Chain A
Amino acid sequence: KNEVEQSPQNLTAQEGEFITINCSYSVGISALHWLQQHPGGGIVSLFMLSSGKKKHGRLIATINIQEKHSSLHITASHPRDSAVYICAVSPTNFGNEKLTFGTGTRLTIIP
């Protein structure tokens, strides 16, 4: 069983829809990261959080430490949001230099 599980694996939605991607983990962590990967490979860090909720523009990330669960929400989705979204964790007693990754969620937003 993977230490970091994401769902769904694939998600197709219409432009404007509210998107939720889920991440569950089974290890102790010092932080959880949401990453975005566009075709071509480049990865951008969207959020790094260890508690509560963070918001950046149309993106919102939440984490529940007790339940070992995090969600990434996208409001008013747009075709440019189409990408693979990856959840990653920094295991307890390690810094952010050593990440364990989920398998990613491929999001496609149709105009």
Chain B
Amino acid sequence: KAGVTQTPRYLIKTRGQQVTLSCSPISGHRSVSWYQQTPGQGLQFLFEYFSETQRNKGNFPGRFSGRQFSNSRSEMNVSTLELGDSALYLCASTYDIGGGVGSYNEQFFGPGTRLTVL
């Protein structure tokens, strides 16, 4: 079974631009979470999507948004990029049959997208 894939792996943008990152979960996984990792703040939860709906959200400004498609693939978008948005963005997928606030199954992480904002 293929693992979680993220594209692109590396991205360089300039301040003010916007960016879209993509995540394809493991086949059969309907939950996708997104995380930001920076040297200063470490790993932080951005948001989670399940069955095309945002189910959980972290403490990030509205410039950070996401969506999930019917095939469970997810995208996250950052608008009006700032220097501080430079980070490794990780997604993770989980098998969840739904009906609750979340799953107690293991999360599987993708390799990440390293975003550099100049």
Contacts and interface: CB of A to CB of B under 8 A. Distances in A.
Interface stretch (B16-24, B62-70, B77-85, B108-116): B108-116
B109 A44 contact: yes
Interface of B: 31, 33, 35, 37, 42-45, 48, 50, 55-56, 58, 88, 90, 92, 94, 96, 100-112, 114
A103 interface: yes
Nearest to B32: A97
A97 B42 contact: no
A76 interface: no
A6 B117 CA distance: 30
Name B's interface SS: strand
Contact of A101 (B44, B94, B102, B104): B44
Nearest to A96: B107
B94 A96 contact: yes
Interface residues of A, number: 26
Given A30-B104, A35-B109, A98-B102, 16 more contacts: A40-B111, A41-B90, A42-B111, A43-B92, A45-B106, A48-B106, A90-B102, A94-B102, A95-B101, A95-B103, A95-B104, A97-B50, A97-B56, A97-B102, A97-B103, A104-B42
A22 interface: no
A33 B108 CA distance: 12
Nearest to A104: B42
A87 to B, nearest CB: 11
A86 B107 contact: no
A44 B106 CA distance: 10
